Structure 1
Amino acid sequence: MADPHPAVDAAGTPAAPLALDGIRVLDFTQMMLGPYATQVLGDLGADVIKVERPRDGEWERGLTFGGRLVDGDSPAFLAMNRNKRSVAIDLKAPGARDALLRVGATCDVVVENFRPGVLDRLGLGYDDFRAVRPDIVYCSGSGWGQRTPSAARNRPGQDLLIQAASGLAYNAGTATDPPVAAGTSICDATGALTLVNGILAALLARARHGIGQRVEVDLFHSTIAIMCQEISAMVNLDLEVSRSAAGVAQPWLDAPFGIYRTADGFLALSMGDLSLVAEVVDADLAGLHPWTDRDEVKRRLDRRTPQRTTDQWLDVLLGAGLWAAPVRTMREAVDELRADGSPLVVTTEHPNGEEIELIGCPITLSATPWRQRRRPPAVGEHTREVLGAVLNPEELAALDAAGALS
């Protein structure tokens, strides 16, 4: 069941191979954890077959941003589902399980992020796919893990909830603030990229050792893992979280680490020798200790930085070898990428044919660079193309008659 749309250049010559050419992925995922991971695999060349509900498709197609959709599709769905083919099928319909197992027999990887046990009960678990493809790589993503106590395993695994339960949200803000959530779905994104790493490691193990296996990744443990340095400090130095009263940006770090208002905006000042900061910003800081006096350092800098513009301060700070940057909006950052001709901002089509902009793959490979081969699919756009490669016409017609297909 080869991908029927190989990439060609303008002259019709087949394009250079991609890193994951020849790898096929059966994708049962939804929301961000799974779809972002499988999009990365698709960007790198895998043939990703996305399984969705008939008619409405994946749940995230309907997620509004600012109360709006992009011509009927969520901007979140469009952002994470290029380079995929869509099969719309009712998993509970007669014949659906057999059809999907037959597709699975042609696949290298199966990815799902239902709650633990859901696909097993539908006969689409690891053992079911391993029976038709012994070296299958079967990856399960979840909120809390497959083997955590049942009470935790069945909690909803959503990004904000993981930020809250992991301690991540409690690390942001000042001492008198409530816990502060990140401005993006950081736990989902971390889990997704961890999922990619697990799948690639399992594919390498299969190539080297001839074995398939199950891969498990969850949001909670992935988020705990990215806080490894803070947790190391907590457990090995017996420190408790102590957010700065003045707003030093992380609980464990010395001043001047933080965000500062300027005459025309804000700037970020990262880790730096306080004596050097005193030399170029305020000589009175020289007698203060960067940790025990961190709140006083922050407050003095807060009084000083509004006296110059952001650009003026950047000239001073960067010129002295300190780490600083302007605080910008997302629009300003993307406008700069566009102006620089960055390959990270890509243009493609909405399923309705209208042009849309998306963020591309952030991985640069010199010999096998990622490529945008497919726009995000319409619900069930490739159902008959994919299933017709493993079912005969009578079997496909029977599924259709049973109302299983979109």
Structure 2
Amino acid sequence: MSLPLKGITVLEFSQYLAGPYAGLRLADLGARVIKIERPKGGDACRQLATKDLWVDGDSLLFHTINRNKESFCADLKQAEDLAQVKKLIAKADVITHNFRPGVMEKIGLDYEAVKAIKPDIIYAQVSGYGNTGPWVNKPGQDLLAQSLSGVTWLTGDVEGGPVPLGLAIADMLCGTHLGQGILAALVRRARHKIGAKVEASLLESMVDFQFEGLTTFLNNGQQAPQRSATANAHALLGAPYGIYQTADDYLAIAMVDLADLASALECPAIDLPQSQAFSQRETLKANLQKHLLSQSTSHWLARLRARGIWASEVLNYQQLLKHPAFEALAMPLTVQRPNRTRVVTTRCPIRFNNQTLRSIKAAPALGAHTNAIAEELLCDL
């Protein structure tokens, strides 16, 4: 299959998650992504382990976010290495970085300097909080960005404190936005032969993630969202929206007319006019929760599905991976290094021309491609 970004070369100076996540998706779509790494240590994510899991000397997390890439070692503080990198830039289409403000300027690889080398370059930059304001130099880290964005007051029930999302959502969203900007810039370059500087930040991505809630806040007299006391799932929605405990498990119920739900579950305690779904949210949810504890999840699902009501069981990882619906998606992907080290991960979620994107090339060992890249791209300059 001919992938849409075949022939595009990306130099990835980015580390950790946000920038490399953008690079991962570009690689999935056919771009050649070359990580520019320090000779000693490389991308700091190589040593950032989740659950203390390591594979072939690198963290499992590094393998997860950097499959299908190449690694070129260069010490940017050394004139000879920097000169080589500048030669690579002359042959690249995109560069990405997430260095602290001022670092690329000090090295001599800021946007204006890089544009002088390659006028139509797409220069993509990740930051924590943008390039102006009092937070410019604040550490750009996922949990800190979540904590500053307001999102932690949307998850969990009202009696609890702030609850962060249990994954690196700021990094993933920021990487997604950076990738979108890069793709748009590549389209514009193809049409108008000009480059661009693309920027995305963790905080802006988290604010955008909450555009629904913030738009409501900005237009309703700035009334703060209030989490439910029971089964909170969306601070702006009325009953019954949420996840409830049953006699043996859990049950998710989405938007539904209260009268229809009361009839399906034979629960008169929630049979109120739909206009009271939000104003009486706490009472309705508490009554529903008490009722649902009397029977199993399968019992309630049978009733709800018979009436076409949006509801679902709540799966954990083990249950998800065994489910026929998950198996039909064929999401697991086994990647392999040249030394036969293997990692099972997940494939790109995008389908292209009815085909899934399934590169089996694992994350590169540090400097694994330095010599080959130098011979291919630098010997004729």
TM-score interval for Structure 1 and Structure 2 normalised by the shorter chain = over 0.9
- CA RMSD for the aligned pairs? 1.9
CA distance 1:61–1:107, change in 2 (3 Å): same
Deviation at 1:66, TM superposition (A): 1.9
Deviation at 1:159, TM superposition (A): 1.0
Give, in whole Å, the separation in 2 of the partners of 1:192 and 1:375.
20
Deviation at 1:46, TM superposition (A): 0.3
1:292-331 alignment runs, 5 A limit? 292-331=279-318
Task: State which of 145, 151, 163 in structure 1 corresponds to 2:130.
Answer: 145
Give, in whole Å, the separation in 1 of the partners of 2:215 and 2:20.
32
Deviation at 1:95, TM superposition (A): 1.2
Aligned residues: 377
The residue that corresponds to 1:70 in the other structure is: 55
Residues 74 and 82, structure 2, Cα contact 8 Å, conserved in 1:
no
The residue that corresponds to 2:234 in the other structure is: 250
The residue that corresponds to 2:76 in the other structure is: 91
Matched, 1:132 2:113: no
What are the superposed Cα offsets for residues 207-263 of structure 1, whole Å, 9 maximum, x if unpaired? 111110100011101110111111111111122222222243221110111111112
Q: Structure 1 counterpart of 2:210, which letter?
A: M
The residue that corresponds to 2:261 in the other structure is: 277
What are the superposed Cα offsets for residues 297-318 of structure 1, whole Å, 9 maximum, x if unpaired? 1111111112222222222222
Give, in whole Å, the separation in 1 of the partners of 2:323 and 2:40.
39
CA distance 1:373–1:24, change in 2 (3 Å): farther
Give, in whole Å, the separation in 2 of the partners of 1:221 and 1:326.
34
Residues 280 and 317, structure 1, Cα contact 8 Å, conserved in 2:
yes
The residue that corresponds to 2:19 in the other structure is: 34
Matched, 1:121 2:77: no
Secondary structure, aligned partner of 2:143 = helix
Greater relative contact order (Cα 8 A, min sep 6): structure 1 or 2?
1
The residue that corresponds to 1:230 in the other structure is: 213
What are the superposed Cα offsets for residues 310-353 of structure 1, whole Å, 9 maximum, x if unpaired? 22222222222221121111232233379725332111115642
The residue that corresponds to 1:189 in the other structure is: 172
Q: Structure 2 counterpart of 1:336, which letter?
A: H
Flag structure 2 segments of 5+ consecutive residues without an equivalent. none
Flag structure 1 segments of 5+ consecutive residues without an equivalent. 1-15, 396-406
Q: Structure 1 counterpart of 2:226, which letter?
A: S
Q: Which moved more, 1:312-321 or 1:330-339?
A: 330-339
Residues 246 and 292, structure 2, Cα contact 8 Å, conserved in 1:
yes
Give, in whole Å, the separation in 2 of the partners of 1:348 and 1:30.
21
Deviation at 1:367, TM superposition (A): 6.4
Matched, 1:178 2:161: yes
Q: Structure 2 counterpart of 1:275, which letter?
A: A
Give, in whole Å, the separation in 1 of the partners of 2:365 and 2:334.
17
The residue that corresponds to 2:372 in the other structure is: 385
Which ranges of 4 or more aligned residues in structure 1 deviate by more than 4 Å? none
The alignment-based identity, stated in percent, is 37
TM-score, L = length of structure 2:
0.94
Q: Which moved more, 1:39-48 or 1:280-289?
A: 280-289
The residue that corresponds to 2:249 in the other structure is: 265
CA distance 1:35–1:171, change in 2 (3 Å): same
The residue that corresponds to 1:219 in the other structure is: 202
The residue that corresponds to 1:102 in the other structure is: 87
Matched, 1:51 2:22: no
Deviation at 1:128, TM superposition (A): 1.8
Secondary structure, aligned partner of 1:153 = coil
Residues 75 and 82, structure 2, Cα contact 8 Å, conserved in 1:
no
CA distance 1:37–1:337, change in 2 (3 Å): farther
Give, in whole Å, the separation in 2 of the partners of 1:391 and 1:231.
50
Task: State which of 10, 18, 21 in structure 1 corresponds to 2:3.
Answer: 18
Q: Structure 2 counterpart of 1:62, which letter?
A: Q
Give, in whole Å, the separation in 2 of the partners of 1:22 and 1:30.
23
Give, in whole Å, the separation in 2 of the partners of 1:69 and 1:188.
21
Give, in whole Å, the separation in 2 of the partners of 1:359 and 1:163.
25
CA distance 1:368–1:26, change in 2 (3 Å): farther
Residues 248 and 256, structure 1, Cα contact 8 Å, conserved in 2:
no
Q: Which moved more, 1:99-108 or 1:120-129?
A: 120-129
Deviation at 1:295, TM superposition (A): 0.6
Give, in whole Å, the separation in 2 of the partners of 1:335 and 1:76.
23
Residues 39 and 74, structure 2, Cα contact 8 Å, conserved in 1:
yes
The residue that corresponds to 2:347 in the other structure is: 360
TM-score, L = length of structure 1:
0.88
